[in-house]
Amino acid sequence: MGASATLAFAIYGPIARDDLPGLCDRVCALLSESDARVAVCDVRGVEPDAVTVDALCRLQLAARRNHCKVRLRHASVELLELVTFMGLSEVLAD
């Protein structure tokens, strides 16, 4: 993919718990092919539920392993409130 400061991708929902390994594998592949330090994840199409927050946390962890950080784009108020309620607002910044 070449050197780039930012990588952008989108995830769509609803996300089932069974979808998490495949989702993480696909995003890890994107991250490993990129030199990006910031990955912008468009989440406008996801449901604000615990599985979505779990997926986003896993993506953040995978990004950090690749010296990158995930930033959320187009997060709904409901999703941001759930992230805050779960005590993860510092992990999943908008």
Supply 87's token pair: 């005590």
Phi/psi of residue 2, nearest 5 degrees = 90, 170
Indicate the CATH number for domain 6-85.
Answer: 3.30.750.24
* Domain ranges (residues) in the chain: 6-85
Q: Both tokens of residue 37?
A: 């330090």
What are the residues facing 41 on neighbouring strands? Answer: 9, 72
Gap between the Cα atoms of 32 and 54, Å rounded: 21
Each residue's pLDDT tens digit, 52-70: 999 999 999 888 888 899 9
Tens of pLDDT, residue by residue, the chain (94 residues): 445 588 999 998 889 999 999 998 998 898 888 888 999 999 998 999 999 999 999 999 888 888 899 999 999 999 999 999 998 887 776 5
Please, where are the H alpha helices in the chain? Answer: 20-32, 50-65, 77-85
Q: Position of tokens 């199409």?
A: 45
